[in-house]
Structure 1
Amino acid sequence: MIPDVTLRRSRQAHIATPRLETPFHARIAALDETNDWYSWAGYKAAHSVFDEELEYFAIRSTAALFDISPMVKYRISGPDAERYLNRLTLRDVAKLKAHRVQYTAWCDDHGHVLDDGTLFRLAPDTFRLCCQERHLPWLLDSAIGFDVEIAEETTEIAGLALQGPTSFAVLANAGFDGIEQLKPFQIAEFSHDDTRVTISRTGFTGDLGYELFVPAGAALSLWDRLWMAGRNLGIRAIGYAALNRTRIEAGFIVANADFMTAEAALRADRARLPDEIGLDWLVDAEKPFFNGRHAILEARRNQSLKYILVGLEIEGNIPAEGAIVYHRKKHEAGLVSAAIWSPLAKRNIAIATLERPYGSRIVDDLWVEIYASRELQYQKMMKRATIVPRPFIKLDRRTATPPGLF
């Protein structure tokens, strides 16, 4: 029999199990002033580093470094890699050329979205799939009959997002010659120490930006190289809170925040088809086979889609995070999943899921119910909401090639 004291300590150790530290943790911890950490896929990640608002303005005004190492990464390779991924994902992978990236999503057999992410074609038969959740069992089951190798490389590959108007200047200063030729969603490899760093012109901010992937052992030297190159260009380390503000401005969605993934949904009616979360444009209906194809196209034919994801502009300046959306102030129409007052757009914006026909056939007389704290007392406000296109902001510098030196 295990002594009570041993059992107690075992339970406490289980509760106190520390989160993993990313390869960049030492540098971020040295800069940290807020001690504001959260758990991302089992890793200790910064929610903020020094000030959430100033970190947001670093993204929009200079350059910001965000640690994306916890992002789940799979390497998929082999003679059937393209054919396998074409069967798995919504888009036509045959159209994805080597050294290019595409945003995509994948579904179960019922057409419900399992996750979204980015697919990097590193070579003709080699891909990297990056996503929010872990899907190795699903990927392996889906690979039956295909000549492919699938391996998770999350711990082996460190990742950094370098975003903002001076991000190109930082990379140029750091000696990445030829970086000015990189177009949006293009990949290139560069020398770094005794290894190679893969740089893609991608990001989650709607701004000029890049993502860098390097073997974990070279992570700190890469950070130092960028930090030194950006010291006169306003480079700052940031946390997720600031990044989240910019992704809302860009109209991007987050799995299990703006929609529930099919594997995470506890109730069957919480799962979503691509068309119900604004990802209908990803679906290549010309492909003969892909997971969920029949269910997705059947819902379109039968007009049985139940939900729609929309952008909202809300009167006033109080963010409507988590607010219920009403029609004519009395009929519940949906829920706001993400909202901010946008400093760049100078608008109160939100992303919301509405239950059809609201948002599709009925688009007028929409309201949100906001509860704002006023001197330790909540005040209920009904604010008018207008459906508007996403993204809420568009920055020319995001796609300009070569990028400008700001």
Structure 2
Amino acid sequence: MMSSDDTMMLHTPFHSRVAAACEINCWGDWKGYTTPNAYSDVELEYFAIRSTTGVFDLSPMNKYRISGPDAEAYLNRLVTRDVSKIKVGRVGYTVWCDEQGQVLDDGTIFRLDENDFRLCAWARGLDWLLCSALGFDVSIEDETAQVAALAVQGPTSCANLLNMGLTGLDQLKPFGMMSFDFAGLPLMVSRTGFTGDLGYELWIEPAGAEPLWDALFKSTDYNLIKPIGTDALDLARIEAGFIQAGVDFVPALNAVRAGRSRSPFELGLGWLVDFNKPVFNGRRALLEEQQAGSRYRFAVLDVEGNKPAHNSFIFHGKRVIGTVTSAAWCPTAKTNIAFAQLEAPFGQVGERYTAEIYFQRELHWTRELAPCRVLDKVPFNPERRRLTPPAPF
């Protein structure tokens, strides 16, 4: 007989603590795992990220261990950036493409040792990784279930982790890693995150998950540290200008209709494409695109008013030139931000367009035509995310 808690959904190693903290019982599905959309109030969780510390269960992130004599050569063939420039103990953001130069996914590469890497990705891609390994002396393992992870983000995040006894963490630079012993288990801490703020990600064996959660929340007054759900994280990442696979672009292997996938250039990620390194997946197609021009341009828009332009059409005069993929009124930046895919050559910095916004109040739909402007940079990029050591809080 099944109990009310029996489910086909997977639970992360932190689930007992997460479930106890989820006051409003608001749950979502992240790649088959039960994860909270919100614990109590989305705005309070968001402000924990920006004012104190927010803690996010990162465990469902797909994690692949790539090791062996050809590990670096294999990854250099797979992704668009030069992996040889990622030194041991460092993390690099990257994308990988199919042979047509269309993005399969974006993610982070952790260089754990000379021939030992961890690739973190949104989409499940083990089949693609294995197929791409033909001819390389490399081992690829899906270690998603073997690694529990927490994102600890916000201006007091370093102080709280120091209070836990992680001595020396304040000297860790952005995109660096450090190893610690925690309760007899190896704990890896990286200065990475998806909020655009000072923050860290903690990686440990599942057996250490609950003690790690408990120690973290005992590191400071409970009012100064809060668990955060996917809704608050989404608001923070939009404010910081971070795109999300499955939201801001369709991974190429998931695209059913022609023309729905995007290249790195069309996502504003051309800086990740290194044509000076040896051959990599999609290189020829991306070279041709660089010479001929892209079909679309990624743009960050400042939209007039405070109504988020969710799924809006963008107009130039009477012509539809693109659509909004992510949108939010961002409290810290005090800006109504939208990410848009615009037809080239539209999307130049400073150009002005119109967003067609629909919103509902008390079952009444309102249509608003809001002026918007292409920004040259995202409005939230605090110095504290780069300071080493972080400012004391």
> Structure 1 length as normaliser, TM-score?
0.94
Of 246, 258, 261, the residue aligned with 1:268 is 258
Could you list the per-position Cα deviations for residues 120-175 of structure 1 after superposition, in whole angstroms to 9, with x for gaps in the alignment? 00111100000001111110111111111000000000010000000000010000
The residue that corresponds to 1:57 in the other structure is: 47
Alignment pair present for 1:342 and 2:330? yes
What aligned pairs does 1:6-405 form with structure 2 within 5 A after superposition?
Answer: 17-231=7-221, 234-303=224-293, 305-328=294-317, 330-360=318-348, 364-405=351-392
Shift of 1:391: 2.4
Matching residue's letter, 2:359? A
Q: Please tell me whether the aligned partners of residues 352 and 374 of structure 2 are also in contact (alpha carbons under 8 angstroms).
A: no
Preserved contact between residue 355 and residue 371 of structure 2 (Cα < 8 Å): yes
Instruction: State whether residues 62 and 233 of structure 1, in contact with CA within 8 Å, keep that contact through their aligned partners in structure 2.
Output: no
Q: Could you tell me how far apart the structure 2 residues matched to 1:364 and 1:218 are?
A: 51
2:102 touches 2:282 (CA, 8 Å); kept in 1? yes
Separation (CA, whole Å) in 2 of partners of 1:88 and 1:364: 36
Distance 2:361 2:35 in 1: 32
CA contact (8 A) 1:166 1:233 kept: no
Shift of 1:301: 1.1
The Cα shift of 1:256 comes to: 1.0
Kept after mapping to 1: 8 A contact 2:103/2:251: yes
Give the distance between the partners of 1:376 and 1:271, measured in 2 at CA.
35
**Offset from partner CA, 1:215-262 (integer Å, 9 cap, x none):** 011110111111111336701101010011110011000001001110
RMSD between superposed Cα atoms in Å: 1.6
Moved more, 347-356 or 96-105: 347-356
Secondary structure of the residue aligned to 2:368 is strand
Tell me which amino acid in the other structure corresponds to 2:53. Answer: A
Tell whether the 8 Å contact from 2:350 to 2:375 is kept in structure 1 after alignment.
no
> Stretches of 4+ moved more than 3 A in 1?
362-365
Q: Could you say which residue in structure 2 is the equivalent of 1:6?
A: none
Cα-to-partner distance string for 1:261-311 (whole Å, 9 max, x where unaligned): 1011111210111100111000001012000000001111122x1011110
The question of whether the paired residues in 2 share the 8 Å contact of 1:318 and 1:348 is answered with yes
CA distance in 2, matches of 1:384, 1:149: 52
Equivalent AA in structure 1 for residue 322 of structure 2: G
Give the whole-Å Cα distance in 2 for the aligned partners of 1:28 and 1:284. 41
Report the alpha carbon displacement of residue 17 of structure 1 after superposing the two structures with TM: 4.7
Q: Per the alignment, in what secondary structure is the counterpart of residue 342 of structure 2?
A: strand
Matches of 1:230 and 1:148, distance apart in 2: 43
Equivalent residue, structure 2, for 1:5: none
Q: Is the 1:250–1:390 Cα contact (8 Å) retained in structure 2?
A: no
CA distance in 2, matches of 1:88, 1:146: 11
Q: CA separation in 2, counterparts of 1:242 and 1:292?
A: 35
* Aligned 8 A contact 1:274 1:280 in 2: yes
CA deviation after TM superposition for structure 1 residue 194, in Å: 1.4
The 1-side partners of 2:360 and 2:30 are apart by: 29
Asked if the contact 2:350–2:376 (Cα under 8 Å) also holds between the matched residues in 1, the reply is no
Question: Which amino acid letter does the alignment assign opposite residue 347 of structure 1?
Answer: T
**Aligned partners of 1:250 and 1:390: how far apart in 2?**
10
Number of matched pairs: 391
Q: Which amino acid aligns with 1:387?
A: V
State the secondary structure of the residue aligned to 2:336. strand
What amino acid maps onto 1:212 in structure 2?
Answer: L
TM-score when normalising by structure 2: 0.97
Tell me how far 1:363 sits from its aligned partner: 6.2
Residues 1-25 of structure 1: per-residue CA shift (max 9 Å, x gap): xxxxxxxx9xx99xx9521000001
- CA contact 2:56–2:151 (8 Å) conserved in 1: yes
Kept in 2, the 8 Å contact 1:204–1:243? The answer is yes
CA distance in 2, matches of 1:88, 1:212: 26
Structure 2 residue identity aligned to 1:310 = A
- Kept in 2, the 8 Å contact 1:48–1:240? The answer is yes
Q: Determine the C-alpha separation between the residues in 2 that align with 1:259 and 1:24.
A: 30
Name the SS of the counterpart of 1:222 in structure 2.
helix
Distance 2:307 2:289 in 1: 37
Could you tell me which runs of 5 or more consecutive residues in structure 1 were left unpaired when the two chains were aligned. 1-8
| CA distance, structure 2, for counterparts of residue 368 and residue 378 of structure 1 | 16
Q: Is the 8 A contact 1:199 1:213 kept in 2?
A: yes
Contact in 2 for aligned 1:79/1:148 (Cα 8 Å): yes
